[in-house]
């Protein structure tokens, strides 16, 4: 009989996932001191969703009763072409196409349906930056990458331009070997960060991160950091662009992640003249729409 784990991995590849790994459900109690300290010193910069349901983050079975296995899946978003930066403002590559939450959620649903059809009734639930999941910790336990000095998941053969999907299931699967750290003495991401948000390797200083400042923060960008954005108006890829492992990155094959012709052709004057109806039309299917027109204009200023 074919190994259930291998069947799941084969179906995951067919659905467009790039990597798939499995871990036994185990508590993340070893991470409790770090995350407790992180929250107590307001390292999460007031993002309340990071402090909710703390125990569920440590124990997945509190999220999905009967969880025995955790499946981590990576979805490549490395673009075929980079939107020109000359005479332009800069968008993070992950935001070129449609909202990744919806795109990946649908694929997770299809994979879960396949699992139920193949192996019978089970508890299973998918997560994409949703719920109370420590995605990167589980990705490393599942062996699909390690959390690098830039705090992102890095895969040895394919780099770091990935979204993470997680499935919690009552299905009992053989675990893969956890991944280990392969950053070594490299400090390229630390040294390249424009705002020194990685001054402590493996720990992101969130209030200084350009992605936080341009996406999550609802406040005006602090004056001492404004000049360091260098034209970035939605997210930042600097720590990934300099990572040596991204020399292995290959363009994705997911049509929904391709940028529209309108987005590719916008230049600085177009952005400055952007109206709210233009914003709604261009980003109708994009996660950028959650940012809102007024905060995008803030970033442009």
Is 129 catalytic? The answer is: yes
* Residue 285 DSSP symbol: T
Q: State how far the Cα of 197 lies from the Cα of 7, in Å rounded to an integer.
A: 41
Residue 291: both structure tokens together: 């940012």
How far is CA 105 from its chain centroid? 13
β strands within the chain, DSSP E: 19-24, 69-76, 90-91, 124-127, 146-147, 153-154, 162-169, 232-234
Backbone angles phi, psi at 76, to 5 degrees: -70, 135
**Residue 241: which residues within 8 A CB-CB, separation 6 or more?**
192
Q: Which of 26, 99, 129, 181 is catalytic?
A: 129
Q: Which residues contact 2 (CB under 8 A, 6 or more apart)?
A: none
How is the chain split among helix, strand and coil, in percent rounded to 5? Answer: 40, 15, 45
Closest CA to 77 of 57, 63, 91: 91
Residue numbers annotated as active site: 129
């Amino acid at each position: 009989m074919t190994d259930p784990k291998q069947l799941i991995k084969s179906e995951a590849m067919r659905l467009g996932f790039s990597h798939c790994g499995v871990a036994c459900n185990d508590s993340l109690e070893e991470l409790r001191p770090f995350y407790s300290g992180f929250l107590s010193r307001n390292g999460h910069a007031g993002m309340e969703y990071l402090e909710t349901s703390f125990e569920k983050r440590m124990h997945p079975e509190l999220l999905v009763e009967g969880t025995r296995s955790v499946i981590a899946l990576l979805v490549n978003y490395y673009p075929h072409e980079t939107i020109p930066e000359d005479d332009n403002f800069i968008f993070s590559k992950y935001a070129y196409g449609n909202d990744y939450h919806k795109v990946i959620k649908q694929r997770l649903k299809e994979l879960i349906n396949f699992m139920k059809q193949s192996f019978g009734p089970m508890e299973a639930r998918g997560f994409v930056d949703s719920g109370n999941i420590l995605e990167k910790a589980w990705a490393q336990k599942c062996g699909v990458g390690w959390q690098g000095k830039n705090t992102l998941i890095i895969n040895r053969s394919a780099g770091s331009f990935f979204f993470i999907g997680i499935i919690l299931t009552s299905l009992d699967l053989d675990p893969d070997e956890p991944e280990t750290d392969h950053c070594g003495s490299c400090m390229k991401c630390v040294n390249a960060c424009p705002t020194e948000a990685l001054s402590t390797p493996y720990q992101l200083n969130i209030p200084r991160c350009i992605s936080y400042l341009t996406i999550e923060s609802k406040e005006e960008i602090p004056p001492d950091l404004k000049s360091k954005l260098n034209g970035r108006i939605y997210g930042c890829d600097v720590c990934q662009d300099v990572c040596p492992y991204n020399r292995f990155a290959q363009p994705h094959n997911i049509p929904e992640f391709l940028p529209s012709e309108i987005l590719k052709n916008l230049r600085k004057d177009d952005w400055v003249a952007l109206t709210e109806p233009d914003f709604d039309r261009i980003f109708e299917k994009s996660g950028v729409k959650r940012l809102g027109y007024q905060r995008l204009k803030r970033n442009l200023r």
